[in-house]
A and B are shown apart, each in its own frame.
Chain A
Amino acid sequence: MCDALRVTRFAFMKLKNIQTRSEVVTSIRAWFDAKGFTEVHTPRLVGLPGQEPHLEPFWMEVQEQGGTQKTQNVALITSPEYAMKRLLAEGMEKIYDVGPCFRNGEPWDGSHDPEFLMLEWYQKSISLSELMDQTEEMVRGVAERMRIAPSALSRSWRRMTVAEAFREYLDMDLESMLEDFDEDEFFKLFLTHIEPKLSKNQPTFLYRYPVQLASLAKPCDDDPRFAERVELYIGGLEIANGFEELTDEDEQRRRFLEEQKTRKESGKKTWPLDESFLSALPKMGPTAGIAFGVDRLVMVFTGSKSINDVIPFSARERFSNEMKD
């Protein structure tokens, strides 16, 4: 069978999806611009990337022409969070950023790509519940503007706390786990019995996470064992992760040092804390924000099972020369 025909068929599916992806990005920008947000373009290359114990930044070297300093190690961001929070501390009120983020060491099985398109936005003085309203309104707005009605969005959106999910799917009291919290045990239960059972046809917000699982989120006022963190699932895919942000510099420093310790203990690279980020936190004031996977939203909109169907070239394809060695 001739190769030309095969290429044409590849192009048919792919080009449709890539066009949809472009319309999604345009529609996201239109929605935020209409709501009075400012798009910011934060740096992709930074000296001190996020230090989450389970995310791996890509490292490279930077050098100034004729510079007398020796080359310096810099990293590609895993999320624009630090830079955006510093802009909020400088006085910006409502900001969003759409751009690629980079994470190394992720599975290339169709759920991740080492370079993915992330939308992140922040607004001062809104609550987690208002952030959920906003997220729902934005996704609906984008679908409406594109005049599509994916089945994953057909039913009314659901909001449940993580404790409610444990009760509903496991008949278990989450509070009994909090005393001597074991993160691995939590994830095993969650990934085996809760996440796969979340409805594919009903977008679901899970919120109020155990405080140990919310490094940059503010503890809940009524119960500091939980934090103001939310995750959004659409069509069974984890789409977004948001917080009512932690603004306490000392508490943030304590959590960062703990994360750094976890990295060290598992033999991972560590680097100094970002002091300019830490000192900006108190100036930022009460804020909520969320990181949102654009590629995954495109998967929902196009009914694609793999991220490789919505990006031009898959990781395996792009890096195939290196892999043959």
Chain B
Amino acid sequence: MSSPSEIKKGIVIKHNNDLWVVSEFQHINPGKGAAFVRTKMKNVKNGKSLDQTYKVSENIDIVPMEYRSMQYLFHDTTGHTFMDTHTYDQIVMADAEVGDDAKYLSEGLGVIVAMYDGRPVALQLPKKLTFKIIETEPAVKGDTASGNVSKEAKVDAGFVVHVPIFINQGDSVVVNTDTGAYVERA
């Protein structure tokens, strides 16, 4: 048995006899109450989402996984295909299993795939990835005075990230893949 304080993104918890991958988590200390960990989990089998809050002092069942280094190959109608960098085996993860993380995938990207019972159950991306800004408004004088310290920018992979106003089109930026937040200029 494990403590909820060990909960991290990508770990697998056995809950009501099903396996759930943690997709988001947050520690909460309400002050007037005990410490809790709020989690969002995805059912390994059907991709269904569940919000679950654990008290830090209770026991949970964290399932040990086999972690394999893989390289991202391509996307087609079956889902996303990865290749084991040691055995060259190819595995496919369905779109629902990859979820929102799909936006970070590009050909050749090295990832870790958590396997259970020979099946891929969770994807772990590098924590920080670099993208090029292809579209953003130039900073406007007075922005900071009115409280705007960030703006939207579109990156080459196609998604939008909030960046500080000094970032320009053509800059490369580092994005935290856990939170989707801007980290620094690359």
Contacts and interface: CB of A to CB of B under 8 A. Distances in A.
Interface of A: 1, 6, 9, 12-13, 16-17, 52-55, 103, 106-107, 109, 111-112, 148-150, 183-184, 186-188, 191-193, 196, 213-215, 238, 241, 266, 301-303, 305
B90 interface: no
A184 B184 contact: no
Interface of B: 26-36, 38, 51-53, 55, 57, 144, 146-150, 164, 166, 179, 181, 184-186
A52 B32 contact: yes
B104 to A, nearest CB: 19
A107 B22 CA distance: 19
A236 B27 CA distance: 15
Contact of B185 (A9, A107, A150): A9
A13 B149 contact: yes
Among B29, B166, B184, the one with the most A-chain Cβ atoms within 10 Å of its Cβ is B29
Contact of B34 (A54, A109, A192, A303): A54
A187 B34 CA distance: 9
A213 B144 contact: no
23 contacts: A6-B184, A54-B31, A54-B35, A106-B29, A107-B29, A109-B27, A183-B34, A184-B34, A187-B30, A187-B34, A187-B53, A188-B36, A188-B53, A191-B36, A196-B51, A213-B32, A213-B33, A214-B32, A215-B32, A241-B31, A266-B57, A302-B149, A305-B181
A109 B179 CA distance: 12
Contact of A192 (B29, B30, B51, B181): B51
Given A149-B147, A150-B147, A187 B33 contact: yes
Contacts of A103: 31
B32 A192 contact: no
A9 B184 contact: yes
A16 B149 contact: yes
A215 B30 CA distance: 14
Contacts of A193: 51
A177 B58 CA distance: 21
A188 B32 contact: no
A149 B38 CA distance: 31
A192 B38 contact: yes
Contacts of A266: 57
Given A1-B186, A103-B31, 19 more contacts: A6-B184, A13-B164, A53-B34, A107-B28, A109-B26, A111-B27, A112-B29, A184-B34, A187-B30, A187-B36, A188-B53, A191-B38, A192-B53, A214-B32, A238-B30, A301-B147, A303-B150, A305-B179, A305-B181
Contacts of B186: 1
Nearest to A108: B27
